[in-house]
């Protein structure tokens, strides 16, 4: 394996990944995505693929971007002071699928590459990403399938990665102001430079290419489950946690806004409908309570 950095092959893979996921989602949903390409004044651009009011998905957004700049925002330099005063390029695919049916979980995935350059000095680079699941009415078999599948993706690289990335995910997707998990977790990592560039790139490809294989079987199994206004109301209530996390804590959202990214593309992850209820409490013994007691607290699923 080589440590030669080739950002162009990363760009090609990410653009192709977006297209493949769009094709797969269109086959499942039956409706087509709107494809919206855009350019950024400061440098670079991307393509936002968005499906709204589909047959299965109320909103499904898949964004590809490759953006450049001469100065990083404070959110980045606070974490990585070594990249100050460097030209930078960030590229990635990010997606969130919000289904209509409360028995189908929301899924989020992001795979990304960052490189910062300065004349006369070695490039600073890393990969990051992850996949996590946010169910409203979870099924234990689905949660186990989700986590086991992620473990199966990572184990060929290093059997230490899944437990490490799972713990990262549990810690990252925790709403600090509520001390409450957003969902049932998954994997999350950043600043990944293990071994060499090729090794890291192969890992990213394995994760990105696994999304449809892991998530769509759950969709197919649950998409026709009957639900009432009660389940729909709870889904909208739980979606409020998604909004709170994205606006208050998510580093990707903050980086996008502060680096003057395209706002519509950054916020495509938001659910189209959401509600807040004052001091809501689940009824004892209810399915809603089981989400809080049996699924949201981090645990080992495999």
- Residues annotated as catalytic (active site), given as ranges: 108
As a whole number of Å, the CA-based R_g of the chain is 19
CA 135 to chain centre: 14
Cβ neighbors of 168 (< 8 A, separation 6 or more) are: 130, 187, 188, 189, 190
Q: Scanning the structure block, which residue is given the tokens 């189209």? A: 272
Selection from 62, 25, 96 nearest residue 242 by Cα = 96
Residue 260 CA to residue 248 CA, distance in Å, equals 17
Give the SS3 label for residue 225: coil
Selection from 157, 123, 84, 93 nearest residue 3 by Cα = 123
Residue 183 CA to residue 29 CA, distance in Å, equals 23
For residue 66, the cross-strand partners are 45, 91
Q: Are 167 and 150 in contact (CB under 8 A)?
A: no
């Amino acid at each position: 394996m080589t440590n030669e950095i080739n950002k162009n092959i990363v760009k090609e893979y990410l653009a192709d990944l977006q297209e493949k996921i769009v094709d797969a989602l269109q086959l499942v949903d039956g409706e087509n995505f709107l494809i919206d390409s855009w350019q950024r004044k400061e440098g670079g651009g991307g393509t936002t693929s968005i499906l709204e009011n589909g047959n299965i998905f109320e909103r499904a957004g898949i964004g590809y971007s490759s953006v450049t700049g001469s100065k990083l925002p404070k959110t980045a330099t606070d974490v990585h002071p070594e990249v100050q005063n460097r030209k930078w390029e960030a590229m990635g695919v990010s997606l969130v699928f919000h289904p209509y049916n409360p028995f189908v979980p929301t899924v989020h995935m992001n795979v990304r590459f960052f490189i910062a350059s300065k004349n006369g000095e070695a490039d600073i680079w890393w990969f990051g990403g992850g996949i996590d699941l946010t169910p409203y009415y979870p099924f234990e078999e689905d949660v186990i399938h989700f986590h086991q599948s992620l473990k199966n993706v990572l184990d060929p690289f290093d059997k230490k990665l899944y437990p490490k990335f799972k713990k990262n995910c549990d810690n990252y997707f925790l709403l600090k102001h509520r001390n409450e998990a957003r969902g049932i977790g998954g994997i999350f990592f950043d600043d990944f430079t293990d071994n060499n560039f090729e090794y890291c790139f192969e890992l990213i490809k394995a994760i990105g290419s696994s999304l449809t294989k892991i998530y769509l079987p759950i969709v197919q199994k649950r998409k026709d489950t009957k639900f009432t206004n009660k389940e729909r109301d709870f889904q909208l209530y739980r979606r409020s946690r998604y909004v709170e996390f994205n606006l208050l804590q998510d580093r990707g959202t903050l980086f996008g806004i502060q680096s003057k990214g395209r706002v519509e593309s950054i916020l495509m992850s938001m659910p189209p409908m959401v509600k807040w209820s004052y001091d809501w409490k689940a009824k004892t013994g209810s399915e809603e309570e089981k989400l809080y007691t049996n699924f949201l607290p981090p645990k080992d699923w495999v």
